[in-house]
Structure 1
Amino acid sequence: MNDLLAALLLGILEGLTEFLPVSSTGHLLIAERWLGARSDFFNIVIQAGAILAITLALRQKLWTLARDWRAPENFDYLLKVGGAFLVTALVGLPVRLAGWELPETVAPVAWALVIGGVWMLGAERLSERLPERDRVTWTVAVLVGLAQVVAGVFPGTSRSAAAIFIAMLAGLSRRPAATEFVFLVGIPTMFAASGYALLEQLGDGGMPADPWGETALAFVAAAVTGFAVVRWLLGYIKSHRFTAFAFYRIALGLALLLWLPSGE
């Protein structure tokens, strides 16, 4: 396949799967079998495209929080976004430095997809029994931060899935409110993770191995696709459950276990 087209498809795939609760890692793992593996720098850049997408998609909320940050409700919300990020950083950095992470190979990613799908079905059922609440508590903030660390340790878990459903179970039971909070926490989290990964690579003397044109195209594709996905998902979950994504995860995970060699 043409390298430019392959880069475009990988960027689109990153934008499609980064924010849906289906695991971008699992999908990129499959895609690289046919489209070819890319450098770490390329993967960092396309994730940056996804960060730009979510920032633009939530720009109205971000502007409101920034403009009226002194308002008690907004100040409290910002504190909890910051608190969730701080939990992720303080717990996640030692975990990263210790190397506590499963390999991004078929078997662990596939099992994470299946187990995560079952978890989503159960968590949504349990959350529906709770009173409808849209207020973020400190319990929600801390657990969202920890959920992001767990997702980092277990590739295929999906950061958004882990964090959204733990938020719902912890009391932020309205799907749109839980999803928006998790996405907002994801902005500094993804910025920090991408920046740290880039510094690591530069510190190791790693230089971009992919042509700049292909990398730039993939960045734009990830940003445009991610923007559309975030806007669509925030509207979709106002009247739909996450059930379809859960069954999709389970089917994809089982397909990976059955049809792809576990060592790859």
Structure 2
Amino acid sequence: MTYFNDVLLGVIEGITEFLPISSTGHLLLAEHWLGARSDTYNIVIQAGAILAVTLIYWRRIVELLTNWRDPDNRDYLAKLTVAFLITAVLGLIVKKLGFELPTTIQPIAWALVIGGFWMIAAERFAENQPDRSVILWRVAIAVGLAQIVAGVFPGTSRSAATIFAAMLLGTSNRGAATEFAFLVGIPTMYAASGYELLKQATSGGGAHAENWTSMGIAFAVSTVTAFIAVKWLLGFIQTHRFTAFAIYRILFGGLLLGLSAMGLLG
């Protein structure tokens, strides 16, 4: 793999990880053309995107942790914790059951298309609700469950699933729903990455054989790109709906299905 490919994969990961368009579909397509990557490589570049979001929200995280005696902060932290624990416990159960993610294009392409239409319908429903920024307990539970759904059905998009779960169940304000979804995603993705790295290390996954220069380049590019993408998204949703992302998902998913039907993608 050339360093240009590392830059390209870092850009794809950084843009797609937190935008509601599914990183899985884009990265599978990239792998088809650029070659498959190791599990360690996948984890490292994803960690770059997680780091970017952590940097964006670091003031909010510090405020929540240092002012936990404030009733509002304590309540918010409790809901974040519950959402994370739901994902963590169910995620471990799914792992123990031996669930394996699909590596073919078709199921992911269908998830992109169906998810796009679902996003349009969900946005219209949420738009008719009162503008509410509060995070209800049912929202916290739903976000935790939505992360599992996104993990089990690649192409769903973790960010799309969690944001719209929040919007449909009471947090109709896009900014508030997105913040909660992303804050839950930070410990969830760190934990998942740590779990996978530990599994690689204990099973002799061959981390010593990795090209750490390539991974370092992809990690750095992913971090910078994700930082820019998420900053842009947080500004965009202040005045725009998610419809543009839904349309993109439908078009991209349709393209993947077409390429698959022609035998150009496996």
Question: What is the TM-score normalised by the length of structure 1?
Answer: 0.96
SS in 2 for 1:135: coil
- Provide the C-alpha distance between the structure 1 equivalents of 2:202 and 2:109, rounded to a whole number of angstroms: 32
What one-letter code is carried by the residue in structure 2 that aligns with 1:7?
Answer: D
Aligned position for 1:82: 81
* Cα displacement (A) at 1:102: 4.4
What one-letter code is carried by the residue in structure 2 that aligns with 1:227?
Answer: F
- Report if the CA contact (8 A) 1:88-1:148 is conserved: yes
Give the 5 Å matches for 1:1-264.
3-208=2-207, 209-260=209-260, 261=263, 264=266
- Provide the C-alpha distance between the structure 2 equivalents of 1:146 and 1:17, rounded to a whole number of angstroms: 21
* Cα displacement (A) at 1:210: 3.5
* Cα displacement (A) at 1:67: 2.3
- Report if the CA contact (8 A) 2:17-2:23 is conserved: yes
Q: 1:262 to 1:198 in 2, by over 3 A?
A: farther
The percent identity for this pair of structures is: 59
SS in 2 for 1:108: helix
Runs of 4+ off more than 2 Å: 99-102, 260-264
What one-letter code is carried by the residue in structure 2 that aligns with 1:107?
Answer: Q
* Cα displacement (A) at 1:252: 0.6
- Report if the CA contact (8 A) 2:259-2:265 is conserved: no
Q: 1:149 to 1:262 in 2, by over 3 A?
A: farther
- Provide the C-alpha distance between the structure 2 equivalents of 1:256 and 1:10, rounded to a whole number of angstroms: 18
| 1:175-216, Cα deviation, whole Å (9 max, x unpaired) | 000000000000000011111111222222111343111100
- Report if the CA contact (8 A) 2:14-2:222 is conserved: yes
- Provide the C-alpha distance between the structure 1 equivalents of 2:195 and 2:264, rounded to a whole number of angstroms: 29
Tell me which moved more, 27-36 or 38-47: 27-36
State how many pairs are aligned: 263
| 1:49-69, Cα deviation, whole Å (9 max, x unpaired) | 111100001112112212212
- Provide the C-alpha distance between the structure 2 equivalents of 1:145 and 1:180, rounded to a whole number of angstroms: 14
- Provide the C-alpha distance between the structure 2 equivalents of 1:210 and 1:258, rounded to a whole number of angstroms: 35
What one-letter code is carried by the residue in structure 2 that aligns with 1:253?
Answer: G
SS in 1 for 2:28: helix
- Provide the C-alpha distance between the structure 1 equivalents of 2:47 and 2:118, rounded to a whole number of angstroms: 28
- Provide the C-alpha distance between the structure 2 equivalents of 1:99 and 1:251, rounded to a whole number of angstroms: 32
- Provide the C-alpha distance between the structure 2 equivalents of 1:96 and 1:263, rounded to a whole number of angstroms: 28
- Provide the C-alpha distance between the structure 2 equivalents of 1:120 and 1:172, rounded to a whole number of angstroms: 15
| 1:6-65, Cα deviation, whole Å (9 max, x unpaired) | 011101110000000000000001111222211110000001111110000111211221
* Cα displacement (A) at 1:140: 0.2
- Provide the C-alpha distance between the structure 1 equivalents of 2:121 and 2:103, rounded to a whole number of angstroms: 26
- Provide the C-alpha distance between the structure 2 equivalents of 1:22 and 1:239, rounded to a whole number of angstroms: 19
- Provide the C-alpha distance between the structure 2 equivalents of 1:226 and 1:263, rounded to a whole number of angstroms: 27
* Unaligned runs of at least 5 residues, structure 1: none
- Report if the CA contact (8 A) 2:15-2:229 is conserved: yes
* Cα displacement (A) at 1:77: 0.4
Question: What is the TM-score normalised by the length of structure 2?
Answer: 0.96
